[in-house]
Amino acid sequence: MSEDDHKEFLLSAMRSASLRVKLMENDLHTIGIALKADLIGTEMAVKWLTDSDLMFLVGVLPPEVGLLTKQERDGDSG
């Protein structure tokens, strides 16, 4: 490959990466809106982030985030 071919390949890869970043941003925004509006709980948000390979952006969470207690899961109020 010539230098120009390498340059075009790299530019194409960078455009592709830029689009992937925009999709990731959109997913993060959508998950945040759904969580804030109580359309999903923390457990679903964490699962969605994990399924979308976005947890690395969120960082380390306390162990209880995203986990429901048995009472909450069963709908018991106490």
- Pairwise CA distance, residues 32 & 38, whole Å: 10
Say what the pLDDT of residue 45 is: 93
Q: Over pLDDT 90: what percentage of the chain?
A: 64
Say what the pLDDT of residue 69 is: 45
- Which sequence spans correspond to the domains of the chain? 3-74
Query: Is residue 41 within a helix (H) or strand (E), and if so which, with residue range?
Result: none
Residue 75 tokens read as 């709908």
List strand residue ranges (DSSP E) for the chain, in order. none
48-76, pLDDT tens digit by residue?
A: 999 999 988 988 777 766 555 444 556 65
Q: Over pLDDT 70: what percentage of the chain?
A: 78
Residue 21 tokens read as 């970043």
- Pairwise CA distance, residues 16 & 9, whole Å: 11
